[in-house]
Amino acid sequence: MNKTITKLADGRELIYYDARPGTVRTAVDSRALEPVASLSEVRRDPVTGDWVTVAAHRQGRTYHPPADQCPLCPSRGGRTSEVPDADYEVVVFENRFPSLGADAPGGQAEDPLHTAAAGTGRCEVVCFTPDHEASFADLTPERVALVLDAWTDRTAELSALPDVRQVYCFENRGAEIGVTLAHSHGQIYALPFVTPRTARMAGQAAAHRESTGRNLFEDLLAAELDQHAQAVAAGDLNHDRVVLAGEHWTAFVPFAARWPYEVHLYPNRRVRDLTALTEAERAEFPGLYLDLLGRFDRLFVEPGQTVQASPTPYIAAWHQAPSGDDRPGLDELALHLELFTVRRTAGKLKYLAGVESGMDAFVNDVSPEAAARRLREVAR
């Protein structure tokens, strides 16, 4: 992998990742841009203990621009964008409208009921391809391997920043998710706190260790693989939740899936984060992940049609162990990818209505076993 670091006109960092060693990137951002200023702060909810980020300056961010004004396409034909070069493979740059920033103003702890802190951290955009019409599922395995290299490199770099507690790599796809730029891309958040979901996972892992002496995530994966082996031996997959089983990775629908179609992809060897993957694990990932994304895009083919009417909207979220925090259970966490869609059937979305949004209590419209069965059915 070749890595070229440069600066945009307003001082933000931009990094090119190229598969070929020695690739030279010399294009200069010629735009007249004002320096980016982050006004973010984080406030602690005294009722739940969760941190909430307040970033009012993001109201003016770019919203559904036409294709010929896409800021994520390369700079070509006299039109400049966020990427100065006329072409690229994978590129990462600091978000122009960040939820968190290194220069965020300091918050203050007024009292136990009104605790605030500076919204320090970093928000980055990851462009997977220069092709405006392509999606992640259209990438080659070689390009996915380069994206994985970029995620890994950013995890290592961002984890080392002062005040960063958790690095979160993710992709949102589809207007239904709330994506405001159609060009295929993901994001990376370097957060100054441990996210609520991660904290809950750590608590469960600590309790499991206390009661069993074993690791929760290792037991979870072993149980799914054991049930899968029994189902294959019996020739009855009706209750099997494993979707894909490789040599180094396993994809399964969780027993208590929250979303109609939700798949968790785990390396078979528990590791803390992307930086700890072996070369063999890294080599197998692209093929398996592209297979999963392809299945998601074949989930909702309507009767009489051979292709899906529209791409499946999804969120793909990497869960990694936080750094710089010693609370119980964090060292028990396991790297894994959670992939899910907000679509429950063709033309219908799973809305987070009163019970989900109001009480954080999910009601799933599809049984996990039926979801796994459907995902196996749509394999090529």
Q: What confidence tens digit (pLDDT) does each residue in 113-126 have? A: 999 998 999 999 99
**Percent of all residues in the chain with a pLDDT value above 70, rounded to a whole number:** 98
Is the per-residue pLDDT at 306 higher than 90? Answer: no
**H runs (alpha helix) in 195-245:** 196-212, 216-234
Q: Are 374 and 300 in contact (CB under 8 A)?
A: no
Helix axes 279-296, 368-377, angle to 10 degrees: 90
Is the per-residue pLDDT at 296 higher than 90? Answer: yes
Is the per-residue pLDDT at 59 higher than 90? Answer: no
For 104, what's the count of Cα atoms within 13 Å in the CB-facing half-sphere? Answer: 29
Is the per-residue pLDDT at 75 higher than 90? Answer: yes
Is the per-residue pLDDT at 302 higher than 80? Answer: yes
User: What number is the average pLDDT over the span 65-74?
Assistant: 95
pLDDT per position as a tens digit, 318-340: 999 998 777 889 999 999 999 99
* Residues forming CATH 3.30.428.10 domain(s) in the chain: 2-193, 198-377
Q: What pLDDT is recorded for position 104? A: 74
Pick 152 or 347 by higher pLDDT.
Answer: 152
For 111, what's the count of Cα atoms within 13 Å in the CB-facing half-sphere? Answer: 1
- Domain 198-377, CATH: 3.30.428.10
Measured CA to CA, the distance from residue 216 to residue 202 in angstroms comes to 10
User: What number is the average pLDDT over the span 282-297?
Assistant: 98
- Domain 2-193, CATH: 3.30.428.10
Q: Which residues lie below 8 Å from residue 42, measured CB to CB, with a gap of 6+?
A: 51, 52, 53, 54, 107, 116, 117, 118, 119, 192, 193
User: What number is the average pLDDT over the span 151-178?
Assistant: 96
- Given pLDDT bands bounded at 50, 70 and 90, which one contains residue 56? confident
Q: Are 9 and 94 in contact (CB under 8 A)?
A: no
Measured CA to CA, the distance from residue 225 to residue 304 in angstroms comes to 36
Measured CA to CA, the distance from residue 165 to residue 190 in angstroms comes to 7
Is the per-residue pLDDT at 197 higher than 70? Answer: yes
Residue corresponding to tokens 């009417």: 309
Is the per-residue pLDDT at 106 higher than 70? Answer: no
Q: What pLDDT is recorded for position 103? A: 77
Is the per-residue pLDDT at 228 higher than 80? Answer: yes
Active site (catalytic) residues: 185
Q: What are the Cα distances from residue 48, in Å, to 53, 91, 108, 112, 113? A: 14, 37, 19, 13, 11
The three-state secondary structure class of 83 is: strand
- Given pLDDT bands bounded at 50, 70 and 90, which one contains residue 188? very high
Measured CA to CA, the distance from residue 130 to residue 18 in angstroms comes to 13
Q: Which DSSP category does 171 fall into?
A: E
Furthest-apart CA atoms within the chain: distance in Å = 67
User: What number is the average pLDDT over the span 197-219?
Assistant: 97
For 359, what's the count of Cα atoms within 13 Å in the CB-facing half-sphere? Answer: 5
User: What number is the average pLDDT over the span 259-284?
Assistant: 98
Measured CA to CA, the distance from residue 360 to residue 349 in angstroms comes to 18
Strand-pair partners of 180? none
User: What number is the average pLDDT over the span 212-216?
Assistant: 98
Measured CA to CA, the distance from residue 33 to residue 9 in angstroms comes to 6
Q: Which DSSP category does 237 fall into?
A: -
Residue corresponding to tokens 């920033």: 101
Q: What pLDDT is recorded for position 304? A: 80
Which pairs with CB-CB distance under 8 Å and at least 24 residues apart come from 136-139?
Answer: 136/171, 136/173, 136/184, 136/293, 136/316, 137/290, 137/293, 137/294, 137/296, 137/297, 139/290
User: What number is the average pLDDT over the span 233-251?
Assistant: 97
The mean pLDDT of the chain is: 94
Measured CA to CA, the distance from residue 241 to residue 228 in angstroms comes to 7
Measured CA to CA, the distance from residue 145 to residue 310 in angstroms comes to 26
- Given pLDDT bands bounded at 50, 70 and 90, which one contains residue 127? very high
User: Could you tell me how far CA 286 lies from the centroid of its own chain?
Assistant: 15
Measured CA to CA, the distance from residue 231 to residue 223 in angstroms comes to 12
User: What number is the average pLDDT over the span 85-110?
Assistant: 87
State which amino acid sits at residue 290.
L
